[in-house]
Chains A and B, each alone.
Chain A
Amino acid sequence: MRMRTRAAYGFLAPYLLIFATFWVWPIIYSFYLSFLATRIQPWSFNPTVTWGRLVVDPAFLNALKNTLIILVIQVPVMIALATVLAVLLNSQLLKARGIMRFAFFAPVVVGEAAYAAVFRLMFNADFGVINKLIGSIGLSPVAWLGDPTAAMALIIIAVTWRWVGYNAIIIISGLQAIPQDVYEAATLDRVSKPRQFFFITLPLLKPIILFCVVLSVIGTMQLFAEPFLITNRGGPGQATETLGLFLYRQGFTVLNFGYASAVAYTIAALAVLISLANLWLGRSAR
């Protein structure tokens, strides 16, 4: 091996060591674990109580259903909002664009515990500001944390609030890559602004929107903090328990590592499958 190459590996060694110990090894070991019955010592090979249990466990199916519901509603809504927001934040008419962009990006950098606490207060059924607002337009208050559907909506609202600005910033970078003279050419072609958006902006943003969708799908499949902190560990009952939360419960509350590993692999596989499906659906016509 050449001196330069050896030196390069030398510098990389500390990182590679940590990567191997805390990334590669756990990934391999958890795959092995997912075939073991880990509830009784000694652990034994018994995939029917891990992989086999997945298809019959109503708690897992409930978590899967909840996660998919959130995914199907939250991801499209958030991406649509992010696209609109990106167009608005990119407008030449907007004053103080830098500050506005930061304001919408800021939720990402706010600590999860802090934002969850604020959401719990805002959506408190008795004295929360949201119910006050709802009441002021004559509607009856909503039991945000007590009603299964409302709790699900709350999770979707919270996740959307947190990530919409982040996605908008990514989409803005895509908007800025579209040359201005394409719009000028369209203006000369008598194409109205809304039609320019649908026939030029959206098609040209497709790759970047797909990128955001894939990122969001992966994020939502792992959704943990919001149901854990805002709806109090997936409550009411298990109405907002997600796959991430279910995995946590199996792995670190019940200490059933084998089953938790199988759940983890299922989450990863689903994220990959759904992302691939998105990429396939969004592929170019040619």
Chain B
Amino acid sequence: MWDFPFLPEQASTFAGEVDAFYFALVGVTAFFTIAIYAMIWVFSVRYRRGKKANRSNPPTHNNFLEAVWIVIPLGIALAIFGWSAKIFFDLRTPPQDVMEVHAIGKQWMWKFVNEDGKYEVNELHVPAGRAVQVKMISQDVLHDLYFPAFRTKQDVLPGRYTTLWFEATKPGTYHMFCAEYCGLLHSGMIGKIHVLKPEDYDTWLADVGRSATASGGGSGNAIVDGAQLFEEKVCHTCHKTNQAAIAPSLIGLYGSEETLADGSTVVIDDAYIRESIIDPQAKIVAGYQANMPTYKGQVSEEQIVQLIAYIKSLK
């Protein structure tokens, strides 16, 4: 209780610059606060009623002064805007080569699917020194994935994927919070993010038993679960994996570009696959009939993530 830090740990590539920006703004705030307080103080003492002072011809306005306190704050505000926009675009633009993690938020837990298909609940392990992108979706209400040590957060919405990315710099264990109010146990929707040294991360990744408890009765691997689901939902009767049938083959499909019936093109990514499961008529690939039924309400967001993981694995 008697230990009172002023800053969260700096554990991502952004943290240093965000903190520097913060202190610059603290400086601006201090400057203007002191300026105003000084004016109040000096005038209060000097012109207290009953105290002798020169009060002749008190000015009622001064356009030059007005210009000064319009132009200087405006300049400072625009400089703040410029710097903040730069940081914002860095925070929102992941590099090309990122490690992808899926996150599903639901009242009141976080479920993650790692790049190898393994699950984690309220915990996430990432390697230091590597850019990680989290693709997030909510099963129910609004949530927000927040890593104070990385100085980043992003709302997690139902119905569409949002992303955040970071590159952790310092091995350790840090807070993971839900920052968007989501009901009864909002403050319990918390976890830990473990940043591991790259070699420790490889060891951790190789630990075959690690996903079992988090899998919730499944196989412990999203790719395997996705393959099972693919059969259960009889997707495979149309989407033959080895040949073109009445529906497009899915082998090597992820990340490729397809031409749609209306002549436009689309990159096959998570959002497209999700849309094609929930609302199959929305974007039909050229040369195919619009005959796939909707799976809306029949698959959870987690299952869609499993299907995506499976489709991604089809090389």
Is B one of A's binding partners? no
- Which residues of chain B have a CB within 8 Å of any CB of chain A? none
- Which residues of chain A have a CB within 8 Å of any CB of chain B? none
